[in-house]
Structure 1
Amino acid sequence: MKIMIVEDEPTIRDMLGETLRRWGFETVEVEQFDQVLQTFQTSNPHLILMDINLPSFDGFYWCNQIRQLSQVPILFLSSRNTPMDMVMAMNTGGDDFIQKPFYTDVLMAKINAILRRTYTYVDTSHSFIEHDGVVLNVKDATLQCGDRKADLTKTEFILTQILMQHKGSIVTRKKMMRALWEDEHFVDDNTLTVNMTRLRKKLAELGKESFIATRKGEGYMIP
């Protein structure tokens, strides 16, 4: 699999490239930071490591540009650690966030988990799941209600799929994190919260504001 590195600090970029190649990944290392989108289009990576502070335009900008073309997973790397940075990362379409400095084993655990859930976690036993007028299309990861439709990220798709498969029952946060990342030890609990907020916003745009209910201290459910 191919990973694109968008990091303007040469020392960190070289370390990331060396680590990824040691794990058997092919790497594409961006050095012209006004051509991030062009590099993405020509290299077609399976995952992107995206710094936030970049020359010309920041990582949020490039994430938004890429999201207009693709749902490829994007993992943000940043020394910025405010809750707003994490919210911005998720709201612009990021799949996860890791703060610098980081341990390489934690980074690789996150990368491998994202790749597993993106490219192997697909239940094709049914082409769609429907409940209360909301249709989840398994093949193209979209939600539809009436004539309105929303595209889902891989994370949002898996969350919706789990909830709809267990409609009428509470799905714990721990179970969701295990399904998404397989080992919740490497997961920031805020990441799940932000993704749920983003999913609910898309449901609200479909006219289904109350489709997912929160069970305080337990988890979430579709009544």
Structure 2
Amino acid sequence: MYLKVARKLSFPQQQLLYHLSNANLGPTRAWNVFKEMCGGFENIGVTDVECRNYKRNLNNFIGTRDAQMVVDKLLSRQEFFDNFSVEFKKNKDDKTLIGLFWADDQAKQYYATFGDVVSFDATFRSNSVQESTTFSTFVIRDTGADYKIKKKTIEVIHEVKYTPSDCSVQCSCLRYECYGLLCRHIFYVLRMRKVDYFPMKYLQSRWSKNALIIKSVEKSKDGGTLSKSGCVLDSVLREI
């Protein structure tokens, strides 16, 4: 039974070994799984060497076609899922895959509501401020952001510009420009100016209960929009 000519993986064993490899189980651990399923090593018919050889041959068979297999798999999903998008980019010289992007309908809805939640560009550009209108400038010392470098204390100072006419504020820390949240320096200035009502233009929909609205009417397959009655019903749901 343990002669080399008799040690061959059956097709069900090969299929199970393939699925176990997808679950991040190597050939040796897969062989231990075979042992538990068959009731002992003597009932398997192969050793861990055959499992490792099969895994090696499988990787050699895939070779450099693994990227093409991924692209073909994603392209095939467009036939079964509506509004599924796939974009990929190849190298002009050796035609290797250098970029791949895919998104389904739910991911697109999340992106439209919350923006890019996976990663963000650490660099930013501050918005230009029209200084033709009258505004007030406040200098605030951030006591919680003092840094001690080589036993020297560096005082961090932020400047807040407040325009009462349109209730617009801007802080030099640029927290709102980066994260969409007003900083504590702006709240301190608003409290000093006795602003009783929060500026609604700084309240983004992504932080409200209306961030995701359940559509009452499904989107038609031909790309049509919601009916007028469906839009009215959605507006009622938003009010609720």
Between structures 1 and 2, the one with greater strand share: 1
Normalised by the length of structure 1, the TM-score is 0.20
Q: Quick one: higher RCO (CA 8 Å, sep 6+), 1 or 2?
A: 1
Give the structure with higher Rg (CA).
Answer: 2
